[in-house]
Amino acid sequence: QPVARIAVIAGDGIGREVMPEGLRVLEAAARRWALPLEFHAFDWAHCDYYLAHGQMMPSDWKAQLAGMDAIYFGAVGWPATVPDHVSLWGSLLKFRREFDQYINLRPARLFDGVPCPLAGRKAGDIDMLIVRENTEGEYSSVGGVMFEGTEREFVVQESVFTRTGSERLLNFAFALARSRPRKTLTLATKSNGISISMPWWDARCAEAAARYPDVAWDKQHIDILCARFVLQPERFDVVAATNLFGDILSDLGPACCGTIGIAPSANLNPERRWPSLFEPVHGSAPDIAGRGIANPIAMIWSGALMLDFLGGRSSCDARWRAAHDGIVRAIETVLRDGPRTPDLGGKARTTDLGSAVAAALA
Ligand code: NAD
Ligand code: IPM
Ligand code: MN
């Protein structure tokens, strides 16, 4: 059983508050299922490091992390002191791109006990997987501001969609849809208005679909797709999207399920050439940081996704999958009967939920 080396990067704001709860649950799971986890904490990739060093990470960050099996990541961003594009392009977006984590897998599920903002929905009615392209698309650094300060000033920023990048994303999404009972995929697009790249993206999807004839699929323009997330969320199973559309849908889906405080994500390099990264969908939440009331479930669920992925290393062992399933069951139990943080309508603290999930595991 090879040891799994996990880099721990807490980041900023509530990242520092939810990380200890994620680790508490991972340690409980490691004891219960005898998993050989080894944690390595890195005190960089946060805004105080930037203020002290003029960069978000040491210059050899890639060498320090490349030998890890996974990165367990809190959240980065403290816009009061460092502009967001500087902190994020100096850390998280570097990880995604340099470690070729081209899949960003983001589940959204309605749980028993979580108040749903949509009328008439019960647990299980919403259960979707958003598969977000994570290395290209609208997130490019190609472009610039010209004639700055003159009346001719303009700005251009390109979107870049590669054939390889689109095909691997869509193949992954179709294979995932095939593995699920409903075998259904929805493509997020905007090929009516974005007249060059988006028809091309639709064509890549049609090609991928031909390789998965048993998966039912349709394409929906992003505007009506957002409306249907709110009006008919139960119809969605796997939703494949470009980087920006996937970003938006992966806050909207969890919001339709009651809170973004429980939404996890897996930034995957499926070939395992580089470490994959597991983090909440949410950010550093400066508005509640320092008060000990952030919901740690997104961090904890992300840890479960990490164990599941680690279990798929060469010597596949059912204990990793069992640990994932056990953590998800413990989350279900706590959301149904346990303490609630304010985003869930309660008064409980971050540590109360972390302890409750760890106790439910034992
Ligand atoms: P945010 O996700 O941090 O917060 C949005 C809202 O949701 C806030 O009201 C916040 O209090 C609430 N919220 C978020 N997580 C919560 C939790 N676990 N429990 C309870 N409530 C929670 O988004 P934002 O305000 O747009 O961004 C704040 C900072 O985080 C910015 O610097 C932004 O760039 C950064 N950010 C980082 C990541 C990341 O590291 N992956 C993701 C999103 C935003
Ligand atoms: C996310 C975040 C990031 C993104 C930001 C912080 C750059 O919103 O992980 O969803 O847009 O990908
Ligand atoms: Mn986002």
Q: Is 58 helix (H, G, I), strand (E, B) or coil?
A: coil
* pLDDT score at 315: 66
* Predicted confidence (pLDDT) at residue 314 exceeds the cutoff of 90: no
Q: How far apart are alpha carbons 281 and 104 in whole angstroms?
A: 10
* pLDDT score at 316: 65
Query: Cβ(11)–Cβ(74) under 8 Å?
Result: yes
* pLDDT score at 312: 86
* pLDDT score at 317: 81
Q: How far apart are alpha carbons 20 and 14 in whole angstroms?
A: 11
Q: How far apart are alpha carbons 238 and 252 in whole angstroms?
A: 15
* Predicted confidence (pLDDT) at residue 1 exceeds the cutoff of 80: no
Atom number of ligand 1 nearest to Cα 280 = 41
* Predicted confidence (pLDDT) at residue 357 exceeds the cutoff of 80: yes
The CATH code belonging to domain 1-101+266-362 is 3.40.718.10
Mean pLDDT of the chain, nearest integer = 97
* Predicted confidence (pLDDT) at residue 192 exceeds the cutoff of 80: yes
Atom number of ligand 1 nearest to Cα 288 = 11
pLDDT tens string 197-250: 999 999 999 999 999 999 999 999 999 999 999 999 999 999 999 999 999 999
Q: Report the pLDDT averaged over residues 60-79.
A: 98
* Predicted confidence (pLDDT) at residue 108 exceeds the cutoff of 70: yes
**Domain definitions of the chain by residue range:** 1-101+266-362, 127-256
CATH architecture assignment, domain 127-256: 3-Layer(aba) Sandwich (3.40)
Give all strands of the β-sheet with 127-133 in edge-to-edge order: 37-41, 4-11, 70-75, 276-280, 264-268, 103-109, 127-133, 238-241, 184-189, 216-221
Q: Whose CA is nearest to atom 12 of ligand 2?
A: 247
* Predicted confidence (pLDDT) at residue 96 exceeds the cutoff of 70: yes
**Top mutation candidate among 252, 284, 357 for ligand 1, by most atoms within 8 Å of CB:** 284
User: pTM for this one?
Assistant: 0.98
**Which residues surround ligand 1 with Cβ inside 6 Å?**
14, 75-77, 79, 84, 88, 92, 260-261, 279, 282-288, 294-295, 298, 343
Query: Cβ(358)–Cβ(26) under 8 Å?
Result: no
* pLDDT score at 94: 98
Ligand with smallest separation from the Cα of 13: 1
182 alpha carbon to ligand 2 midpoint, in Å?
29
Helices (H), 79-221: 84-89, 92-98, 163-178, 197-211
